[in-house]
Homo-oligomer: A and B are copies of this chain.
Amino acid sequence: MALQLAVSSVILALRPSPDDDGDDGGGVLGLWIPLVRRIREPYEGRWALPGGPLGEGCGLEQAARNALTTSTGLDPAYLEQLYAFGGLDRSRDRENEGPDPDRVVSIVYWALVRAEEDQAAVRAHNVEWFPVDALPDLAFDHIQVIDYALARLRAKILYSPIAHAFLPTEFTLAELRAVHEAVLGRELDPANFRRQTLASGGVEPTGRRLEGTNHRPPSLYRYRAESVATSPTPPPRSAS
């Protein structure tokens, strides 16, 4: 009956797709999400977004970072508030009707993380990664929350240098294009992508080249300092 406030996160990483038949090195990239298995009613045993109650000692964004670290062991390269949910039918398993639960308001963040090699090592208990196009049955309406986060990502990559969050500091335009293609789910013309990206001014050549390919070595680029951002557009600091 007391008011509860929870924070959860849609965490997105890029990894080779599971349907990658070919055993060649690269493979097609796809989006993956870590989910946690619920150990309490409602929806016990179902997969859900990682999160938890808002701690006493931290703000909303910090709480989202904590959930993120717990489930992935990584720092988010990008973190933005998605939406605050607070309907009255909340926290209620609509399949198993029970007594009226506590009122829960939850604030959802979405995050982008760079897929590190040691990520599998930090795989926490009860946490598993799923490709976004092969998600299991989810608790609550988390599937809609994920869809909303994906829509936001796909919209934002068109006008924001957000792909930076998936890449190392130096990268080739082909790698950058692969990120865009994975997020948008369609192929892009390499020539036009190059022109638009360079014309936008968000990226600049480092002067180095990537050696070791079996073809012409591509130039390496980095994001210009002004264009990167861990925080999103312009949400103010606080309010009441």
The residues of A with any CB-CB pair to B shorter than 8 Å are 3, 5-6, 8, 48-49, 54, 56-60, 81, 83-91, 103-108, 139-142, 144-145, 147-148, 151, 234-240
Contacts of A235 on B, CB cut-off 8 Å? 83, 148
Q: How many copies altogether?
A: 2
Residues from chain B with a CB closer than 8 A to the CB of A236 are: 83, 85, 141, 144-145, 147-148
Q: Which 3 A-B pairs have the closest CB atoms?
A: A144-B236, A60-B86, A87-B238
With contacts A5-B3, A237-B144, A239-B142 known, is A107 near B91, CB below 8 A? Answer: no
How far is A234 from B148 in the complex, measured between Cα atoms in Å?
7
In the assembled complex, the Cα of A184 lies from the Cα of B17 at a distance in Å of: 44
- The answer to whether B54 touches A105 (Cβ under 8 A) is yes
Are A90 and B240 neighbours in the complex by a CB distance under 8 Å? yes
What are 22 contact pairs spanning A and B, CB under 8 A? Answer: A49-B239, A54-B86, A54-B105, A57-B88, A60-B84, A60-B86, A60-B105, A83-B235, A84-B107, A90-B238, A90-B240, A106-B240, A140-B239, A140-B240, A141-B237, A141-B239, A142-B239, A144-B239, A145-B236, A145-B239, A147-B236, A148-B234
